[in-house]
Each structure stands twice: as C-alpha cells, then as structure tokens.
Amino acid sequence: MTKNIARLPGPAGSTRQWQRRAACRETDGDLFYHPAGERGADHDARDSRAKRVCARCPVREHCLAFSLRTRETYGVWGGLTEEERHALLSRARRRSGHRTPA
C-alpha cells in the first residue's frame, strides 16, 4: 500500500521560520489542546483563552494555513479549533465540487 505523503510538512528548517515568531511560544502548550474528557464550560473557556493568544499572534495566517494543509486534527491552530477547521475544509470542498467518500 502506498502512503500519500503530499500533505505532510517538509523539513522544518527554513519552511517553518514563522513558528519562531508565534505568540503561543510564550504560552503553556496545554492551553491549545484539550485534555481527554474535557467538555462544556471548561472546554469552551480553554478554547477562548487559546484563541485570545492567536488573536494577537503575528503569524496567525501562516499557522492556520499550515494546519489546513497538513490536516492537523487536534488543538487550536491559527485561531480555529479542530471542529472549525474541519468545517472550513468541508465548505471549501463543497464549493469546489469535491466530495469526500463516505
């Protein structure tokens, strides 16, 4: 079976220089990833705090683009949760006429 590696990031060196300027580097990384079983108000509050960090980030667009390109499945990236990124990609596929196999 051949693996599709087209969406995997390349070497981290110069291609991800933007990460060095990310606002999240000054924050506990756990803020961006919910612990197992986190639900309701705690989940929403953590996501809101993470999004506030993203809102002031100088490389937010790079981060979001990276997460969409690599189909990052966990955490807040570029100011969007995994659910929000999934919805964004789904809308883009529908607009372009592509269907995802069931």
From residue 61, alpha-carbon distances to 18, 19, 35, 38, 67 in Å are 10, 11, 25, 27, 10
Q: What does the pLDDT average to over 38-56? A: 96
Q: Rounded CA gap, 102 and 58, in Å?
A: 38
pTM score: 0.77
Average pLDDT score, the chain: 86
* Structure-token pair, residue 84: 């929000």
pLDDT band at 97 (very low <50, low <70, confident <90, very high): confident
Q: Rounded CA gap, 35 and 30, in Å?
A: 8
44 annotated to a ligand binding site: no
Q: Which of 11-15, 61-65, 79-83 has the lowest mean pLDDT?
A: 11-15
- Is pLDDT at 7 greater than 60 in this prediction? no
24 annotated to a ligand binding site: yes
- The structural domains of the chain, with segments of one domain joined by +, span 28-96
63 annotated to a ligand binding site: yes
Residues 20-43: pLDDT tens digits?
Answer: 999 999 899 999 999 999 999 999
- Is pLDDT at 82 greater than 90 in this prediction? yes
69 annotated to a ligand binding site: no
Q: Rounded CA gap, 34 and 81, in Å?
A: 10
